[in-house]
Chains A and B, each alone.
Chain A
Amino acid sequence: MSQAVGINFKKSSIDAFIAGLMALVLFGPIVGVVLDGYGFNAEFGRVAWIVAIVAVGRFVMSSFMQTEKGIALAFRYANNDDGVTVLPPGHKSKMVWIIPLVVVIGLVLPFVASKYVLTVIILGLIYVLLGLGLNIVVGLAGLLDLGFVGFYAIGAYGLALGYENLGLGFWSMLPIAAIMAAVAGAILGFPVLRMHGDYLAIVTLGFGEIIRLILTNWASFTHGPNGVSAPLPTFFGLEFKRRSSEGTFHEFFNLPYDSAYKYMFIYLVLFAVVWAVLFIKHRLVKMPIGRAWEALREDEIACRSLGLNHVLVKLSAFMIGASTGGLAGVFFATYQGFVNPSSFTFFESALILAIVVLGGMGSTLGVVIAAFCLTVLPEMLREFAEYRVLMFGILMVVMMIWKPRGIVRVTRTGFSPKKGVAK
């Protein structure tokens, strides 16, 4: 009987009874009482069904958790040690196979996907860039930055205002915006990076708000809340508009006009930039500077005792992170065709931070996955528009309970032993 497989049905029955009782308390008034004018109708049938489903479900689950498989599952989760692991030297990552596959899918995608899907994916990629940028600051260097959206805004407004005032297009603004954001990062960072932890978080929070308020209130330059229009990228000087004196893309290639071309092009450029940033990030973490960032996160005092200038190391993390944010801003502006200050609220900063935390501090793959989850999921949940932020909150709570170290666990490269040489 039950003893043979070790299932205690009495315990399961009690579990089921308690769960059913809780369901009755919870759903009884909500589902069972339907208002009808000034009176109400009692709907016992619906309540009974819900309670029965909950009780049976709990019974099945309780029984399953007592079987060998269930115990093994519970054991696995209980011992889910999400700590950092060091890979053995010479470890071959499975990414060698996955990366070419993703590249091929990514290149084919714009030609098969609908315009709507493409715009959602572009947004996802923009958040990947933002996540990667903030991951350097928060995940690697351990500096809590709550004003990252400021650099994003600098990039976006850089493109829009650069075009309006100086006639600079997408291609010239792409590097300039990155440099501008990095300089802004340096100006903000130099005086404040002597602080750490909570103080730094508050200063950066203030910085993000300052940028937004300047954009809103300096109306003579930024057009305030009315926003500014931003230019589209050009393909070797050919524009993606319907008509242009400079020559248009569809006329040059004898194609019928389609507004999807511009999204395809933005997507392909963005795709290339994301890969470039991923590659640079991948190299940076293995380089002395990346090691210094992580060491700084671990122990600042020890870093200073080893001759690392902690202010400059933090500043470099801040600047490189900011420049990535600036790049993302340029893509955002050109993709929207229009920027205004309401796109750069604190909620954006919180969203980017959530991407980094969900993905796993310092993990590149995790950030990419989390960025797509947090931008594509809300699009898929359009029907529940009012509950999106609620779901977002629930997701964060659940993740922090089950996987506090993020989706992807951080691994470190191992080094094969060498013959030591004294110098």
Chain B
Amino acid sequence: MNQENILAVENLVMHFGGIKALNDVTFNIKRGSVSALIGPNGAGKTTVFNCLTGFYKATGGKIQLSAGGKETSIIKVLGEPFKATDFISPVAFVSRLKYKMFGGSHLVNRAGLSRTFQNIRLFKEMSVVENLLVAQHMLVNRSLVAGILNTKGYQKAEEEALERAFYWLGVVDLVDSANRLAGELSYGQQRRLEIARAMCTNPEIVCLDEPAAGLNPSETEALTKMIRVLRDEHNTTVLLIEHDMGMVMDISDYIVVLDHGEVIAKGGPDDIKSNPKVIAAYLGAEEGEEVTL
């Protein structure tokens, strides 16, 4: 298991028919860091996210997640097509068949990576607490018999799940709205609830897709604080896509800049700020021109 990097992306390629959305993307995310993925519109940021979280099957390359004490190949758990060698080795065949039948993006989450969505995807007709309880599906007692008979063990597991849900509601400051429907919440509250829901699955790395989109400056500041809490108190690695440069430069330890499906720069906020390629990509300026972000 790779101690230093929680996520290693190597030569990631994603083609949609003839469109090359991602071309040879390579970067590593350090454990316990806050990293940002930035780039102009259409650079392929969300495509990278969808590949990382298993919603797209990458056309080529490797994504290695080292969380929960083991290495997971995200491309493998989504179910790869059979290869000629599988028909010689039964072990490889069975594992391939298993992932083909039961594999999918849910295994990425179970491996320790959770995400939020650019367009908020809450369970709108369920209450706020229930949204968080659904997220803990893999942690609670799922036995049908125990649930129907309402056994002690089942009650204890449910109680713990509720406590965990209320803890995260406290972190995102939504305890007062616990019994409201998720769809009734304001936009900013919905964004925070989605982060809490992602955190309820006990991930080691959480991927936030434009968490500050649509938030006002004070809400953005609160979000920045919250992301620091995730990193400092919960040892969670945070990877985010964001367009708010002030916020990105403020909280990121490491920034990856994408443009036209390629990584044009990687490094700390200060390196990125002064990188002429980045400035050119964002502002279309001539290289060497005096522009700062």
Contacts and interface: CB of A to CB of B under 8 A. Distances in A.
Interface string A347-375: 00000000000000000000000000000
B98 interface: no
Interface stretch (A58-66, A149-157, A294-302): A294-302
Contact of B134 (A89, A306, A420, A423): A306
A420 B137 contact: no
A48 interface: no
A294 B123 contact: yes
A289 B102 contact: no
Nearest to A420: B167
B197 A419 contact: no
Interface residues of A, number: 41
A283 B150 contact: yes
Interface in A265-313: 280, 283-284, 286-289, 291-292, 294-295, 298-299, 301-312
A305 B105 contact: yes
B130 to A, nearest CB: 6
Contacts of A415: 127, 129, 162, 178-179
B33 interface: no
Contacts, number: 146
A417 interface: yes
B179 A306 contact: no
Contact of B123 (A86, A88, A298, A311): A298
A414 interface: yes
Interface in B143-180: 144, 147-148, 150, 160, 162-170, 175, 178-180
Contacts of A420: 163-170
Nearest to A307: B109
Contacts of B102: 309, 311-312
Contact of A306 (B137, B144, B167, B181): B137
A412 B107 CA distance: 30
Interface in B272-287: none
A289 B147 contact: yes
Interface in A385-423: 412-415, 417-423
Interface string A297-335: 011011111111111100000000000000000000000
Interface residues of B, number: 55
A417 B106 contact: no
A292 B148 contact: no
B105 to A, nearest CB: 5
Given A287-B147, A306-B201, A414-B179, A299 B123 contact: yes
A298 B104 contact: no
A295 B163 contact: no
Contacts of B107: 307
A105 interface: no
A78 interface: no
A418 B163 contact: yes
Contacts of A86: 127, 179-181
A302 B122 contact: yes
B15 interface: no
Contacts of A280: 148
Contact of A291 (B114, B115, B137): B137
A301 B201 contact: no
Given A86-B127, A309-B104, A415-B178, A303 B160 contact: no
A127 to B, nearest CB: 24
Contacts of A84: 125, 181
Contact of A288 (B121, B141, B202): B141
Given A280-B148, A291-B130, A292-B134, A423 B160 contact: yes
Given A283-B147, A420-B164, A307 B138 contact: yes
Interface string A35-65: 0000000000000000000000000000000
B55 interface: yes
10 contacts: A287-B144, A288-B141, A288-B147, A294-B123, A294-B125, A304-B106, A306-B135, A306-B198, A311-B102, A420-B163
Q: Which 10 pairs, one residue from A and one from B, show the smallest C-beta to C-beta distance?
A: A420-B167, A307-B109, A298-B123, A287-B147, A420-B166, A302-B121, A414-B179, A421-B163, A295-B134, A304-B105
Given A304-B105, A308-B106, A417-B175, 12 more contacts: A288-B141, A291-B126, A291-B134, A294-B130, A301-B121, A305-B106, A305-B109, A305-B114, A306-B135, A308-B137, A415-B127, A420-B163
